Amino acid sequence: MIQRLDPGARMSEASIHAGIVYLAGQIPETLDADIEVQTAEVLAAIDDLLARAGSDKTKILRAQIFLADINDFAGMNRAWDAWVVAGNAPARATVEAKLANPAWKVEIVVTAAV
């Protein structure tokens, strides 16, 4: 059985199947904020969705981070390092990508165990 959180016509915020939760790309709310604030907002959204799915950040298996500007890597990592639980850092990839909204500096996708 597949469970979907906040299903819409185009996408769901998360899908849960066989003990794994797959989150859609999470984006910041404050469009004029710096990379650290935007990253913190995205990570908070991830925390919220994972909790709704019966999981948490210690169970993240993989994170994919998309930065609009790779020069924001250090700032994004400051927010990430403050958030990630020591000893529970997931496998991770970070790439520069043109994001759908030019005001977004970061988008993060995670997969976690439930």
Convert the pLDDT of each residue in 50-75 to its tens digit: 999 999 999 999 999 999 999 999 99
> What pLDDT is attached to residue 46?
98
Three-class SS state of 66: strand
Q: Average pLDDT for residues 30-44, to the nearest whole number?
A: 98
Q: Average pLDDT for residues 32-52, to the nearest whole number?
A: 98
Model confidence pLDDT, tens digit, residues 44-53: 999 999 999 9
For residue 35, give every residue at least 6 positions away whose Cβ sits within 8 Å of its Cβ, in sequence order, or none. Answer: 67, 72, 75, 76, 79, 105, 106
CA dihedral 93, 96, 98, 103 (to 10 degrees): 100
- 80 by Cβ neighbours in 10 Å (0-12 / 13-18 / 19+) ranks as buried
Domain boundaries of the chain, sorted by first residue: 3-113
> What pLDDT is attached to residue 111?
98
Q: What is the mean pLDDT of the chain?
A: 98
> What pLDDT is attached to residue 114?
97
Q: Which CATH class is domain 3-113?
A: alpha beta
> What pLDDT is attached to residue 113?
98
For residue 55, give every residue at least 6 positions away whose Cβ sits within 8 Å of its Cβ, in sequence order, or none. Answer: 21, 112, 113, 114
Q: Which residues pair with 17 in a beta bridge?
A: 20
Kindly state the percentage of the chain with pLDDT values over 70: 100
Alpha helices in 1-86 (DSSP H): 35-52, 73-83
